[in-house]
């Protein structure tokens, strides 16, 4: 297809076409001379002209000296706008006339600079950019920053490209990238774009067109090969690039069996854009870009044709390609060339189409026909469809040419001869030949049998894309057996074969039955399920139905699985290979795998390298490079093998296996801190419910410093994972989360179960806890070991690390500083100047979150923080500040809560929120402790710390029993603050108050607080109603006169009289008998008491407070409690909350009870472990505060001055929270031992083979053997 010049319509630098009597000319009406403009406007015009020239060259167009020297300007409200003086011409023709190569580029570049300088009246030195202008896809944008630094760009000159298609990611060292692009024009422009991008990065590249020899002067490190490629050419690329650590990009058309992807459409910052807007405000350009996003796919022929058709009025001659696809299909030239993909010679084309030389020349000019040597062909190879003209093509071919059979069949002859030929070749393992011959045939054109043969040929050569294309031509269930074979070759770890009728499969598809049997034997051997014998029988029956070399091939496969020792016999292999090179190569690959399992890596590597030189199938080559990476001891070579296998398997149509390889590449990128590429690759291999992908994502967030994202990933990890490698990855992430949160004990538990990857992090944890670091590790990709050394040095001497002062700080060192900073509680270990340098380096490496933590707060957080702290200073009390303000303060500092502790004994004086305390280590009478990690801003923390020290309560205030804000009720949570407020409201009223709450919540303490807050001068007296019954209750409350009943030997006042002027507390009022309730009601109503046995009443001034744990409303309904008494007391009802609703108060009360027990019961003081804190916070406390006090006293007795651990707690509390991780690990220790031991026995003690069977690296296996005590 012609290059879509119509795309340039949207750029105002290109002139508008206008018809006139002389034809079509440029519309330059209303324009002015550029030299008539002011200097600043001429500079603006210069930028527009150079940007337009760069844009034109992206479409193989060239404005030329005439267009630039005759350029004009049109005035508008937005400023002057440049317009070329003529239409562009073909850049390819210009370069060809100039001799091509870099010299032609230099001439054209200088022509632009000289012409623009002349027409704008500027000096060339003002225009010349610092580097290569490019003249390729990204040239104008890449140079814009350079131009803005020079006088030419003092004005606003923007060149925003409104639609973008990516230049593919530039290759790594040793990587070979394949891109399928059928259109030769697009291929050339894409290759040029990549060449320019590499040049700008300082990487020397060799640009080669198809058919040219590949030679280099030694300095080029990247090969860019464009055109139509054969297997031999691709082998040459491998020899040029792969073996010497060079990289290559292969773009264009590929031979059968190769189906690489097309370049992706997207929004990369390094990509170019086919549409452009120049000289407009940025917001307008962005809006236009968004509106046009996704409207054009440059790889889509229909899109290109439509745009060309829309712009055809720009050109004097309307291209015939502007006709619809239907009319072009009837074109006799097109029909003739569709008969043969390779093309036709001139005489045959004229004979079949009836066209003359002039018509053919016109088709070539229009781009409909391409001349390729002596052949004329279509730009894109067509699929072969039935047509009687195929008979004439067949007549020109030799009798033994299989393509003759294809053309005869497409002409209408019998297909049986073609089927027999293909079957015999497949039986002799010549699938590549069958695929090459049958592949071009349109799906379904010759029937089901041909589609089956195409599918088998593709699958035998591991061409999964071709196989899927052939299967798509089979209707209904006819394709299911072939889909099974596809899944056998390319499946994920959770895949299981679908159930097939084996007898039907064996009868109709014996080769698929053989593949299924081999797969089942392999799985059965690894899992020891005992299925191998049934599979062996199935394989034997399948082999009996096969013919040719297939019989020997599946016998070799059977031996490799069940009796690998047979491969030690050269005669056995030779007897099966029978001199066939194909069988010999396939057997050699299987032998290399057997040697790898035995640990004979050097011998296996030699075999695999030999196969690389002779194997051409991308699928097989991909697997060979995977196996080659498993036997190399050089890390760089291993990475190169992974890169090669990725691109080869991708080209062969592997989906699941490619995803696994991409994940491994992402892990390699993570090790090298190439985070952008790691993130892109993780997105590319993402899959639902993939735990390994979640682990990779968690490691990425950890590398980026996104600790919130890391916590989210950890929360979504499964608890129970059977596969050891996955389980270790989960434990590693949990360990990192705990480490960064300051939960060192939990971090150690997780990291010790995290495998060999956790060893550097354990060193960092040792340093954080002040322990010995242990032995040095050879591999430390993130600088974790360096961070451990920094932490050790900061703890021992307080000195900052020695960092380079010349600005050469590496990302690994910067990350080491961030990691050390994350685990150190000492704020000042890293000076501010160093923090700035580290933050800059981290940002440049894509670790912005670590940079933010190093720097401290952002502006938005600081504004929120400042407003909340100002309200705290105005409130003058920690307890009166609103919950939302504490949320803002802690959220801005990255904390989950705050504590105020006594500097003398560590008593908690005040607390808000929950979390692991992070001790700042600063001395003082009062210590302000952050919870949930270290504050993210040192300056903001010091401001808050100094303010809170002035507002913090003293130890006497928190424990006082008579006055103060606490009313003698200890606690800082919202529920307890609400209780205090209710008590303060009712205290001065004198009303009878009913206190409701569970047993042990402290209703008596609340009643006493109510009395003290009321200001009453009398006594506070208590009676437990449940303990006093009948007449004894009356005597206890109202008093008794001598002789009133037996035993009343003297007059005695009751509690009501004794509490005159004070408060009488009736505890457990719900247990009062009905007969006594009426008398109590009379007393509450009248305030009069009459002693038992007396007729004289006395008036008293008593405040009655009652309490109960019962539901009095239910008792009223049941008739066991008087309704009128309930209304008399329940009108002023206060609920005392249970301890389970006061989580923030549990540890405060714990410390209070512990201090009292030490003082009053003479118990030994002790510290409390974090596990005990966790158990207490998670326990439901049915006995409430009373149970807590008892638990504290028991724990102190059991600990006897040592650290209080969970085993010191009462039995009900000690088992309340047991770590499921520890329980899981202990339960699986014996299982891991048995798994490794049985695998070692199966592999005769060979560690490499054992590691391969278990899916581990050899180093990981040795680590676990040492950890589990296995020899």
> Strands 222-228, 205-209: parallel, antiparallel or unpaired by DSSP?
parallel
Split into its structural domains, the chain has a count of 6
pLDDT class of 329 with cuts at 50, 70, 90: very low
Question: 1089 vs 949, which has greater pLDDT?
Answer: 1089
* pLDDT over 80 (residue 662): yes
* Same-domain pairing of 344 and 368: yes
> 1133 and 1236 share a domain?
no
Residue 316 has pLDDT above 80, yes or no: no
pLDDT tier for residue 512 given thresholds of 50, 70 and 90: very high
Residue 528 lies in a domain: no
C-beta separation of 470 from 451 below 8 A: yes
142 and 182 in a common domain: no
Q: How confident is the model at residue 781 (pLDDT cuts 50, 70, 90)?
A: confident
The answer, yes or no, to whether residue 137 has pLDDT greater than 70, is no
Q: Average of pLDDT values for 1043-1051? A: 77
Residue 807 sits in the same domain as residue 738: yes
- Are 1255 and 599 in contact, with CB atoms under 8 Å apart? no
Could you tell me if 675 and 669 are in contact, meaning their C-beta atoms sit under 8 angstroms apart? yes
Q: Are residues 1126 and 1263 in the same domain?
A: no
Span 445-454, average pLDDT? 91
Would you say residue 1160 has pLDDT above 90?
no
- Mean pLDDT value of segment 957-978: 61
Shared domain for 747 and 792, answered yes or no, is yes
**Could you tell me the pTM of the whole model?**
0.56
pLDDT in the model for residue 143: 32
The answer to whether residue 524 is domain-embedded is no
% pLDDT > 70, the chain: 75
Q: What is the DSSP letter of 77?
A: T
Mean pLDDT of 1162-1186: 84
> Nearest to residue 182, comparing CAs of 229, 117, 124?
229
Residue 776 contacts residue 757 (beta carbons within 8 Å): no
- Is residue 1083 one of the residues assigned to a domain? yes
- 1135: confidence class by pLDDT, cuts 50, 70, 90: very high
Say if residue 99 is in the same domain as residue 202.
no
pLDDT of amino acid 1253: 73
Residue 80 confidence (pLDDT): 80
**Has residue 39 got a pLDDT over 90?**
no
Q: How far is CA 208 from CA 108, 211, 216, in A?
A: 20, 8, 10
CATH value at residue 1125 = 3.40.50.300
Q: Is 77 exposed, middle or buried (0-12, 13-18, 19+ CB in 10 A)?
A: exposed
For residue 514, pLDDT over 70 is answered with yes
Q: Residue written as tokens 């449940």?
A: 1026
Instruction: Choose between 130 and 594: higher pLDDT.
Output: 594
Give mean pLDDT, residues 732-760: 88
> Which of 795, 822, 855 marks a domain boundary?
855
Least confident of 418-432, 460-474, 869-883: 869-883
For residue 107, pLDDT over 60 is answered with yes
Domain span at 782: 688-855
**Cα four-point dihedral sign 777, 782, 787, 788:** negative
Average pLDDT of span 570-588: 88
Residue 266 lies in a domain: no
> What CATH number is associated with residue 1251?
1.10.10
Q: Of the given ranges (71-85, 157-171, 759-773), which has the lowest mean pLDDT?
A: 157-171
How far is 207 from 1218, CA to CA, in rounded Å?
A: 65
Choosing from 253, 270, 300, the residue where a domain stops is 253
Stretch 881-909: mean pLDDT: 76
Indicate the SS3 state at residue 1173: helix
Q: Based on the domain organization, do 181 and 112 belong to the same domain?
A: no
Residue 138 lies in a domain: yes
At residue 4, the pLDDT reads 28
66 shares a domain with 90? yes
Q: What is the pLDDT of residue 280?
A: 39
Angstrom distance (rounded) from CA 399 to CA 417:
12
Residue 769 belongs to some domain of the structure:
yes
Greatest mean pLDDT range, 203-207, 747-751, 1252-1256: 747-751
**DSSP per position, 494-529:** T--PPP--HHHHHHH-HHHHHHHHHHHHHHHHHHT-
Report residue 1046's pLDDT band, with 50, 70 and 90 as the boundaries.
confident
- 1209 inside domain: no
> What's the pLDDT score for residue 972?
67
At how many degrees (to 10) do helices 1170-1178 and 1184-1199 cross? 160
For 336-372, write each residue's pLDDT tens digit: 888 888 889 888 999 888 888 888 888 777 667 888 8
How far apart are the C-alpha atoms of 879 and 885, rounded to whole Å? 11
Higher pLDDT, 118 or 81: 118
Which one-letter DSSP state was computed for residue 1261? Answer: H
Higher pLDDT, 1162 or 20: 1162
Q: What angle do CA 794, 796, 799 make, to 5 degrees?
A: 40
Q: What is the chain's length?
A: 1271
266 or 730, greater pLDDT = 730
**Percent of the chain's residues with pLDDT above 90:** 15
Residue of higher predicted confidence among 131 and 825? 825
Within this chain, do residues 703 and 823 fall inside the same structural domain, yes or no? yes
| 391 domain-assigned | no
Residue that terminates a domain, selected from 803, 820, 855:
855
Asked if residue 750 lies in contact with residue 728, where contact means CB atoms within 8 angstroms, the answer is: no
What is the mean pLDDT of the segment spanning 133-150? 30
| pLDDT attached to residue 196 | 57
Average pLDDT over all residues of the chain: 77
47 and 116 co-located in one domain: yes
pLDDT at 1147: 80
Place of tokens 């390609």: 321
For the CA atoms of the chain, what is the radius of gyration?
Answer: 43
pLDDT, greater one: 489 or 1218: 489
Q: Do 145 and 195 have their domain in common?
A: no
Assess whether pLDDT exceeds 90 at residue 511: yes
Q: What is the structure's pLDDT at 1064?
A: 93
Specify the DSSP element, H or E, that contains 405.
helix 402-410
């Amino acid at each position: 297809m012609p290059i879509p010049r119509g795309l340039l319509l949207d750029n105002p630098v290109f002139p508008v076409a206008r018809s006139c009597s002389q034809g079509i000319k440029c519309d330059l009406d209303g324009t002015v001379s550029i030299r008539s403009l002011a200097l600043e406007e001429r500079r603006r015009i210069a930028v527009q002209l150079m940007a337009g020239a760069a844009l034109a060259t992206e479409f193989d167009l060239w404005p030329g000296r005439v267009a630039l020297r005759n350029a004009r300007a049109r005035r508008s409200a937005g400023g002057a706008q440049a317009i070329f003086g003529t239409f562009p011409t073909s850049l390819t023709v210009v370069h060809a006339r100039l001799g091509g190569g870099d010299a032609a580029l230099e001439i054209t570049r200088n022509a632009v600079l000289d012409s623009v300088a002349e027409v704008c009246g500027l000096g060339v030195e003002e225009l010349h950019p610092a580097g290569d202008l490019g003249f390729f896809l990204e040239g104008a944008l890449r140079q814009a920053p350079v131009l803005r630094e020079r006088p030419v760009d003092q004005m606003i000159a923007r060149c925003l490209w409104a639609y973008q298609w990516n230049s593919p990611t530039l290759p790594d060292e040793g990587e070979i990238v394949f891109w399928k692009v059928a259109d030769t024009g697009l291929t050339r422009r894409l290759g040029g774009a990549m060449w320019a991008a590499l040049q700008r990065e300082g990487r020397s590249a060799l640009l080669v067109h198809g058919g040219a020899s590949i030679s280099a002067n030694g300095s080029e490190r990247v090969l860019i090969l464009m055109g139509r490629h054969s297997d031999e050419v691709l082998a040459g690329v491998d020899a040029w690039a792969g073996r010497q650590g060079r990289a290559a990009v292969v773009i264009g058309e590929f031979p059968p069996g190769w189906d690489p992807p097309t370049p992706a459409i997207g929004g990369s910052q390094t990509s170019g854009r086919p549409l452009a807007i120049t000289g407009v405000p940025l917001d307008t350009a962005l809006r236009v870009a968004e509106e046009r996003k996704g409207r054009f796919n440059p790889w889509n022929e229909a899109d290109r044709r439509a745009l060309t058709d829309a712009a055809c009025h720009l050109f004097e001659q309307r291209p015939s390609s502007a006709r619809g696809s239907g009319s072009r299909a009837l074109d006799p030239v097109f029909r003739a060339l569709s008969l043969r993909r390779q093309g036709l010679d001139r005489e045959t084309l004229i004979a079949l189409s009836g066209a003359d030389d002039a018509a053919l020349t016109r088709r070539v000019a229009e781009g409909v026909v391409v001349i390729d040597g002596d052949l004329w062909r279509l730009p894109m190879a067509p699929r072969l469809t039935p047509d009687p003209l195929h008979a004439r093509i067949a007549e020109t071919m030799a009798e033994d040419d299989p393509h003759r059979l294809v053309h005869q069949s497409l002409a209408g002859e019998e297909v049986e001869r073609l089927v027999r030929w293909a079957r015999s070749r497949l039986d002799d393992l010549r699938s590549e030949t069958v695929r090459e011959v049958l592949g071009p045939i349109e799906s379904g054109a010759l029937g089901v049998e041909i589609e089956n043969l195409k599918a088998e040929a593709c699958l035998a050569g591991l061409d999964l894309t071709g196989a899927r294309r052939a299967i798509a031509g089979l209707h209904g269930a006819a394709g299911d057996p072939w889909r099974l074979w596809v899944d056998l070759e390319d499946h994920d770890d959770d895949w299981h074969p679908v159930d097939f009728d084996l007898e039907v499969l064996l009868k109709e598809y014996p080769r698929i039955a053989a593949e299924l049997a081999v797969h089942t034997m392999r799985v059965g051997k690894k899992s020891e399920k005992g299925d191998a014998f049934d599979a062996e029988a199935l394989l034997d029956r399948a082999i009996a139905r096969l013919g040719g070399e297939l019989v020997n091939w599946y016998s070799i496969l059977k031996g490799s699985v069940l009796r690998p020792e047979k491969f030690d016999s050269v005669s056995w292999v030779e007897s099966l290979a029978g001199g066939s090179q194909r069988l010999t190569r396939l057997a050699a690959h299987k032998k290399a795998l057997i040697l790898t399992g035995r640990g004979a890596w050097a011998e296996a590597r030699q075999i695999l390298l030999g196969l690389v030189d002779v194997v051409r199938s991308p699928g097989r080559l991909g697997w060979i490079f995977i196996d080659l990476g498993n036997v190399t001891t050089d890390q760089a070579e291993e990475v190169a093998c992974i890169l090669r296998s990725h691109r080869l398997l991708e080209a062969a149509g592997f989906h699941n296996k490619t995803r696994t390889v991409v994940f491994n590449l992402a892990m390699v990128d993570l090790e090298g801190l190439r985070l952008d590429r790691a993130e892109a690759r993780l997105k590319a291999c993402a899959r639902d419910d993939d735990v390994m992908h979640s682990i990779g994502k968690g490691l990425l967030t950890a590398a980026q410093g996104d600790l919130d994202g890391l916590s989210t990933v950890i929360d979504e990890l499964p608890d129970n994972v059977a596969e050891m490698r996955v389980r270790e990855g989960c434990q590693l992430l949990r360990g990192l989360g705990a480490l960064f949160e300051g939960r060192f004990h939990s971090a150690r538990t997780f990291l010790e179960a995290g495998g060999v990857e956790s060893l550097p992090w354990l060193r960092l944890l040792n340093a954080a806890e002040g322990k010995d670091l242990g032995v040095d590790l050879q591999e430390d990709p993130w600088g974790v070991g360096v961070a451990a050394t920094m932490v050790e040095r900061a703890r021992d001497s307080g000195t900052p690390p020695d960092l380079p002062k010349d600005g050469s700080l590496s990302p690994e060192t910067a990350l080491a500083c961030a990691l050390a900073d994350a685990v150190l509680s000492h704020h000042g270990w890293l000076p501010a100047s160093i923090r700035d340098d580290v933050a800059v380096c981290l940002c440049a490496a894509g670790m912005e979150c670590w940079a933010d933590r190093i720097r401290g707060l952002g502006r938005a957080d600081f504004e929120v923080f400042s407003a909340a702290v100002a309200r705290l200073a105005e409130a003058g009390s920690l307890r009166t500040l609103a919950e939302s303000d504490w949320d803002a303060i802690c959220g801005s500092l990255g904390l989950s809560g705050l504590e105020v502790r006594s500097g003398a004994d560590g008593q908690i004086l005040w607390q808000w929120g929950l979390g692991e305390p992070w001790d700042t280590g600063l001395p003082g009478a009062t210590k302000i402790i952050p919870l949930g990690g270290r504050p993210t801003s040192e300056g903001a923390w010091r401001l808050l710390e100094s303010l809170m020290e002035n507002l913090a309560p003293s130890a006497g205030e928190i424990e006082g029993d008579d006055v103060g804000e606490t009313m003698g009720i200890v606690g800082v949570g919202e529920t307890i603050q609400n209780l205090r407020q209710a008590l303060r409201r009712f205290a001065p009223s004198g009303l009878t108050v009913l206190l409701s709450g569970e047993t042990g919540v402290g209703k008596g303490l609340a009643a006493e607080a109510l009395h003290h807050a009321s200001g009453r001068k009398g006594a506070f007296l208590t009676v437990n109603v449940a303990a006093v019954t009948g007449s004894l209750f009356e005597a206890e409350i109202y008093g008794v006169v001598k002789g009133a009943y037996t035993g009343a030997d003297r007059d005695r006042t009751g509690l009501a009289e004794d509490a005159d002027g004070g408060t009488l507390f009736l505890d457990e009022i719900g247990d009062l008998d009905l007969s006594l309730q009426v008398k109590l009601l009379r007393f509450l109503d009248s305030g009069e008491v009459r002693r038992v046995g007396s007729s004289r009443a006395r008036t008293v001034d008593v405040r009655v407070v009652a309490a109960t744990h019962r539901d009095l409303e239910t008792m009223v309904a049941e008739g066991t409690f008087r309704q009128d008494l309930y209304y008399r007391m329940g009108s002023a009802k206060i609920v005392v909350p249970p301890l389970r609703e006061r989580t923030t108060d549990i540890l405060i009360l714990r410390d209070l009870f512990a201090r009292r027990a030490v003082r009053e019961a003479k118990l030994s003081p002790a510290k409390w472990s974090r596990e005990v804190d966790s158990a207490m916070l998670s326990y439901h406390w049915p006995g409430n505060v009373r149970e807590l006090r008892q638990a504290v006293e028991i724990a102190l007795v059991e600990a006897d001055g040592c650290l209080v651990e969970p085993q010191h707690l009462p039995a009900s509390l000690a088992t309340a929270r047991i770590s499921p991780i520890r329980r899981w690990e202990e339960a699986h220790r014996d299982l891991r031992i048995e798994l490794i031991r049985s695998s070692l026995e199966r592999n005769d003690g060979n560690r490499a083979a054992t590691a391969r069977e278990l899916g581990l690296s050899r180093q990981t296996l040795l680590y676990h053997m040492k950890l589990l005590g296995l020899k």
